[in-house]
Amino acid sequence: MNKEKILKAGKIAKQIRKFAKSLIKKDMPLLEIANKIEDKITELGGKPAFPTNLSINDIAAHYTPSHDDETLAHGLLKVDFGIHVDGWAADTAFSLDLEDSEQNKKLIEAAEKALEKAIETIKQGTTTSEIGKQINKIIESYDFSPIINLSGHEMKQHELHAGLTIPNFDDNKNISINKGLYAIEPFATPGNGKVYDGKPSGIYMLINEKNVRSPIARDILNHIIQEYQTLPFCSRWLVKTFGTKALFGLKQLEDNGNLHHFQQLVETSHNKVAQAEHTVLISDEKIVTTNQIY
């Protein structure tokens, strides 16, 4: 692990949290929010580790605006973004109540308190199940459920989801936490506590570099290999570089088996979902990289 790069990515993430919180207002286009966050990440010397997720209400995750998106910020908005420095990522999220709803505020508090408890609990030798148990306990104390099929995750260089997963409930797997870089992300909902695969998100990841016949698809594939490697990217980014013909090329790459296309993750009972997330480095000490004091 490269501690210096991990801490640098985390420091930018903390600045972006502050920037995004002051930027986002009700009825602002999601497209504008995503572009401003991602431009600011670059300005601060990082790169987006994945497309900014701006998921509203019952969409728990994996909504990123398309190049022509017209959705305006409203409801219970999850702002989930990542920064990487040479493939070492900081992954963080917060939720905003844009409709002055008591329930939204309670959901946000439940997710945040669960995250705080999880950060307190994680250390070398504790288990992933123990962290999940504590998350579940806090969220249930608010009379909500965690989303059980979404989880935190270990991160390695150029790999956002690698190694261990950190459940949001006690899954009885009892896997020990070792030194590593972990994202912890509780989700709280008054609903069933499960998500299903919804519409295609426009978020993709490279899974195979095999040759593709169409010249535009080949250009896009080479660009992906160079720019994103195995980190997620989105159609909006490629439209910026290649114009709207990128959409055609992406379809060909998906059909050819080069790309995995992520789907939007929607709460099964269509209830609202709040999320909180931080990245924690476990080495000889514990550092919440996305909330460093400096």
Does residue 161 carry a catalytic annotation?
yes
Does residue 67 carry a catalytic annotation?
no
Question: Judged by CB, which is closer to Mn ion: 34, or 183?
Answer: 183
Smallest distance from Mn ion to CB 251, Å: 26
287 strand-pairing partners: 281
Does residue 285 carry a catalytic annotation?
no
Smallest distance from Mn ion to CB 214, Å: 33
Question: What φ, ψ does residue 88 adopt, rounded to 5°?
Answer: -90, 120
Which among 90-98, 102-110, 121-129, 163-171 is the span making contact with Mn ion, rule CB under 5 A? 90-98
Two tokens, residue 232: 């997620």
| Cα 274 to Cα 55: distance, rounded to the nearest angstrom | 10
Smallest distance from Mn ion to CB 93, Å: 5
The catalytically annotated residue of 38, 80, 97, 170 is: 80
Based on the shown chain and the rule CB under 5 A, indicate whether residue 91 belongs to the binding site for Mn ion: yes
Does residue 260 carry a catalytic annotation?
no
Based on the shown chain and the rule CB under 5 A, indicate whether residue 183 belongs to the binding site for Mn ion: yes
Does residue 227 carry a catalytic annotation?
no
Out of 38, 58, 80, 154, name the contact with Mn ion by CB under 5 A.
80
Does residue 277 carry a catalytic annotation?
yes
The catalytically annotated residue of 38, 58, 91, 267 is: 91
Based on the shown chain and the rule CB under 5 A, indicate whether residue 154 belongs to the binding site for Mn ion: no
The answer to whether residues 207 and 259 touch, using CB atoms and an 8 Å cutoff, is yes
Smallest distance from Mn ion to CB 57, Å: 18
Q: How many CB atoms lie within 10 A of CB 40?
A: 18
Pairing of strands 76-85, 165-166: unpaired
The answer to whether residues 76 and 274 touch, using CB atoms and an 8 Å cutoff, is yes
Which among 26-34, 97-105, 175-183, 212-220 is the span making contact with Mn ion, rule CB under 5 A? 175-183
Question: Judged by CB, which is closer to Mn ion: 41, or 253?
Answer: 41
Which among 10-18, 33-41, 214-222, 277-285 is the span making contact with Mn ion, rule CB under 5 A? 277-285
Question: Judged by CB, which is closer to Mn ion: 104, or 151?
Answer: 151
Q: What is the binding site for Mn ion (CB under 5 A)?
A: 80, 91, 93, 183, 277
- Residues with catalytic roles: 80, 91, 153, 161, 185, 277
